[in-house]
Chains A and B, each alone.
Chain A
Amino acid sequence: MAREKLPDGVGELPAPAPDALPVSTSAYRLVDTDELAPVVHVPLTGRDYELAKLTESQAEQLHTLGWPHIEKV
């Protein structure tokens, strides 16, 4: 899609913060997501997660501990 020309004096938007990186750039991805609620408690870690906001470190820990709903890309 053609990009609109920004008005004079208006700069590009700042780059997103690392935690806001799109899922496709993550080293992990959720699997069997049809079995997952948007917000879950994981007994393995004793923590609650809003899966849409899962951070890389949380994903890494869940993967390391063998949580079955995450895999390395």
Chain B
Amino acid sequence: MATGDYTSIKDPGVGNKMGGLQQVIYIAPYETITTLQEPAAGTFNINTAHVFGAADGFLAVYVIQDTGMLKINPMGGPDRNSFKAEGEFHHPGESDAIINFMNKAKSGRFIILAPLPGTTELIQVGNKEFQARIAPSYDTGKNSGDGRTSMFKFECFMADIVKYKASTVPLKPVAP
């Protein structure tokens, strides 16, 4: 569908519409992306994978089931609306890797791909104009609670909602 064109939507279709996010989220430091793809002409879909340097790529971060979510709220006054994306996810415990990520991410700028359950589509949060910010936190909880948790909230301004529909998500290679 071309951008700017309205079309009738008489039926929502039978595609899966499960809520929340999948059990992994993809996060890339903005400065590591060498080519940040744009939506295909006339669409709000990115169909080509972003490009990184040889040693970089999206980081896959495990998400505790039923903790990943993304909400895109309206922002701005009449005739000047845009969007603000707000999301969160939890990761169990405090491994060295997740503590390292928390300490670095609190001051970084990111492109985030949020995978939608039951589909092959992801919502992209962040673009060339605005990048996502991540606010990490940590909670030991209580003895009788769910357990120790690293928690992450993220937010980003968005002029438009954009889907990432490329056939691959390039990942950061694991060091040998």
Contact = CB atoms under 8 A, between A and B. Distances in A.
Size class of the contact patch on chain B: 20 to 34
A35 B115 contact: no
Contact of A36 (B54, B121, B168, B174): B168
Give the interface centre of A39, A50, A67 by most chain B CB atoms within 10 Å: A39
B127 to A, nearest CB: 19
Interface string A20-54: 00000000000000011111111110101010000
A69 B168 contact: yes
Q: Main secondary structure on chain B at its contact with chain A?
A: loop
Given A35-B49, A68-B167, A41 B26 contact: yes
A39 B174 contact: yes
Interface string B99-128: 000000000000000010000111000000
B119 to A, nearest CB: 8
Size class of the contact patch on chain A: 10 to 19
Given A35-B48, A43-B120, A69 B60 contact: no
A41 B170 CA distance: 6
Contacts of A35: 48-49, 168
B57 A39 contact: yes
A42 B173 contact: no
B83 interface: no
Contacts of B61: none
A30 B174 CA distance: 21
Contacts of A40: 49, 168-171
Nearest to B22: A46
Given A35-B48, A41-B26, A48 B171 contact: yes
Give the interface centre of A37, A38, A48, A67 by most chain B CB atoms within 10 Å: A37
B152 interface: no
A41 B168 contact: yes
16 contacts: A36-B49, A36-B168, A36-B170, A37-B52, A37-B57, A38-B173, A39-B171, A39-B172, A41-B169, A42-B167, A43-B168, A44-B167, A46-B22, A48-B171, A67-B167, A69-B167
